[in-house]
Structure 1
Amino acid sequence: MLTNRRRTSAKIFALSVALCCFLALAGAMPALAQAVPHYKVDPSWPKPLPNNWMLANAPALFVDKNDHIWISNRPRQLAMDDAAAAQTPPIGECCIPAPTLVEFDVQGNVLKSWGGPGYVPDWPILEHGLFIDGEGNFWIGGNYQGGNTAALLTAPIPKPKDPSLGDRQVLKFSPDGKLLLEIGHPSSAPMNNQDTSILGAPSEVFVDDAAHEVYIADGYLNRRVVVYDSNSGAFKRGWGAYGMPLSQIENGKAPA
């Protein structure tokens, strides 16, 4: 009698475990299915641009705290045929290079635009990287390394004062586009991972609002991460791959 009860209890326990496992698996299956989103291109986004504009290469995009989408594009890299209306004389009805920074709402409407070659004296030749900090300030870099004028395609865009100078700077602008800070400056100096007075064609920027620090991935010419005070621009620290001190980073071409 006791043996039969034990057998019955064991069967009930086994069935209970099996049922729990089944329910757990069944409950997890919809969650697993929902964990993989499926995206579809929206051909209606963005809406047609105003002012006969056309966007060029877009190296950066940022979504601000209002869920507005800021696109950074490179007016200097819009092909001359695409900027036909901007030629002198015009060689076609379309188009005119858009400003570098264009703000869109979620529906794809243009809300605001500013910036571009000549906007400030040291505006990057080839824009690269965009970050909007907690105060709404814009941080913009560039990755032009100097001398490669073939990368500058559009005739009506103001030419660089000196094409031999590379983008060795990051610029900080207020929410309304006023220049607040410049870290580094245009230069033709060679790679130098120990020199923190200029950058090396920086690729990306990140701002730690709480610490008032800006992290710069530096970059296309140098091989380091450098950190500056986001208000004063004073250098604070930096490192290379695997935490290597700046003093130990080699200068010169990377091995193939």
Structure 2
Amino acid sequence: MRAFLAAALTLPFAVAASAAPPEQALAPLAFEQIAPAGTKMPRFKVDAAWPAMPGDLLLGQVSGVAVGPDDSVWVVHRPHSLTATDTGLAESPATAVCCKPAPPVVRFAQDGRYLGGWGGADSAPTVDGVNQWPASLHGIFVDKAGSVWFGGNGKGDHVVMNYAPEGKYIRSFGRRDKTGGNDATDQLGNPSDVNHSDGMVLISDGYVNRRVIGFDDRTNSYKGRWGAYGKPPSGPVLQGTFDQSHAVDPSRVADPKSAIFNSIVHCVVPTKDGHLYVCDRNNNRAQLFKREKDGGLTFVRDLAIAPETGGTHTVTDIAFSPDPEQTYLYVADMMNGRIWVLERKTHAVLGAFGRIGRQAGQFTWLHSIDTDSAGNIYATEVNTGRRVQKLVFTGIE
């Protein structure tokens, strides 16, 4: 067996970053039209050949995706979600011809070529004897300068990290192993998502706490915190460590009209016209806010998506069509395994695509989405999904 492995490992498993892009393999998506017949909306096909992973690397649960200013596609994943039967090549001695976990932060070209990756405890600072690298990465954002932001929802992951695109640590907010509840102004509670724009760093602080918190991007100083409807954050914080059993807790009944955020405040996604969507996943809704010049948030409206849904619930992430008006709004629905298409101006639901499943264009624990300048959508899956898919924009029909 060892001799076999030694021979096998000389085969060209690894794919260089400069390898040719994969040839597209487009396949149809399940689609439901909800708007009246004749209503035009974006259409997509899934590219089953995207991305081109190196032959010796494997992704675990892919817990975030973000498209950079150059249309490169960044993902964060959870190497610890892989088992020894997935990663026999990483065992010592090797027990299989494949595979090894990919680096925690991975970058792809728009055409699917693997451009490299980085991350891990060696890249992060140690503060008061505690390494600040999150145990379980969650959410990713790439700002206009190309720097990379992400949080974590594992044990003690009360931190948001900011890195240069080549993997050099820049700064962080919060501190691992330190959390202070909804009223804390310098500590976080398992942050799920982050955005850096318009002079602010906005964080959905939502697996332990139930709020959005903001910081000045120049001074790193606290600017404000908000709960549902823009009121002071309230509601019980999670006691103990989050695990995925909490995501399917039957006692978490959605209430799209609730006065407070439910557990798992899951995204912060700004628009080009000065607004912000916040995903209140376990209440099956997003809330829309206006971003004020002083950094404050003013409530505008609720947006309920499949409000009767149970299980892991619905609104897990939001993205937009890339036109200047951001005409179309895309909402990732974890439990129903679909992406809803809305007209952003009116929030009218036009249709939905995708379904629960494991084939190309289907979703298992659909988690995060983003769009590129060509209108393509990238979607990730966690739990047993463990992949990122590219949904190719084919036009408005």
2:200 to 210, 213, 219: 213
The aligned residue for residue 105 of structure 2 is 101
C-alpha displacement of 1:38: 3.2
Whether the aligned pair in 1 keeps the contact of 2:123 and 2:169 (CA below 8 Å) is: no
Residue aligning to 2:187: 198
| CA displacement at 1:117 relative to structure 2 | 4.2
Q: Which letter does structure 1 place at the counterpart of 2:203? A: I
Q: Which residue of 2 aligns with 1:38?
A: 43
Instruction: Tell me, yes or no, if the aligned pair for 1:224 and 1:238 is still in contact at 8 Å.
Output: yes
Distance 1:185 1:124 in 2: 10
* CA displacement, residues 127-176 of structure 1 (integer Å, 9 cap, x when unaligned): 001011111111110011x2xxxxxxxxxxxxxxxxxxx10000111232
CA contact (8 A) 1:75 1:116 kept: no
Q: 1:188 to 1:88 in 2, by over 3 A?
A: farther
Measured after TM superposition, the shift of residue 48 of structure 1 is 3.6
- Name the larger-Rg structure: 1
Give the alignment's Cα RMSD to 1 decimal.
2.1
Q: Distance in 1 between matches of 2:178 and 2:171?
A: 21
Distance 1:223 1:187 in 2: 18
% identical aligned pairs: 35
| Corresponding residue number in structure 2 for 1:169 | 159
CA shift, 1:45, in A, is: 1.1
Which of 46, 49, 52 pairs up with 1:47?
Answer: 52
Residue by residue over 1:69-125, the C-alpha shift from the partner in whole angstroms, topping out at 9 and shown as x without a partner, is 112111111122111111122221110000012111122111231113443131111
CA contact (8 A) 1:117 1:125 kept: no
Query: Helix, strand or coil for the counterpart of 2:80?
Result: helix
Quick one: which of 142, 159, 162 aligns to 2:152? 142
CA deviation profile, 1:205-253 (whole Å, cap 9, x unmatched):
1111x3x21100001000010001123321111111111224xx24445
The answer to whether the Cα contact below 8 Å between 1:181 and 1:233 also exists between their aligned partners in 2 is no
- Structure 2 residue 238 is matched with structure 1 residue 228: no
Does the C-alpha gap of structure 1 residues 199 and 188 become closer, same or farther in structure 2, counting only changes over 3 Å? closer
Count of matched residue positions in the alignment of Structure 1 and Structure 2? 199
Match of 1:110 in 2: 114
Aligned partner of 1:58 in structure 2 is: 62
**Is 2:234 the counterpart of 1:244?**
no
**Whole-angstrom distance in 2 between the partners of 1:33 and 1:104:** 36
Q: Residue 137 and residue 48 in structure 1: after superposition, are their counterparts in 2 closer, same or farther (change >3 A)? A: closer
User: Of residues 76, 79, 82 in structure 2, which corresponds to 1:75?
Assistant: 79
Q: Which structure shows the bigger proportion of residues in helix conformation?
A: 1
What amino acid is aligned across from residue 45 of structure 1 in structure 2?
Answer: W
Runs of 4+ in 1 over 3 A off after TM superposition: 250-256
Q: Which runs of 5+ in 1 are unaligned?
A: 1-31, 147-165
Structure with higher RCO (Cα < 8 A, 6+ apart): 2
Between stretches 113-122 and 230-239, larger displacement belongs to: 113-122
Provide closer, same or farther for how the CA distance between residues 253 and 103 of structure 1 changes in structure 2, counting only shifts above 3 A: closer
Among candidates 126, 151, 165, match of residue 136 of structure 2: 126
C-alpha distance in structure 1 between counterparts of 2:84 and 2:178, whole Å: 27
Larger strand fraction of residues: 2
* One-letter identity of the residue aligned with 1:103: R
Query: For residues 34 and 40 of structure 1, what CA distance do their matches in structure 2 show?
Result: 19
Give unmatched runs, 5+ long, in structure 2: 1-36, 125-130, 240-250, 253-397
- Map Cα deviations across residues 3-60 of structure 1 (whole Å, 9 max, x no partner): xxxxxxxxxxxxxxxxxxxxxxxxxxxxx8583333222121112425x111111011
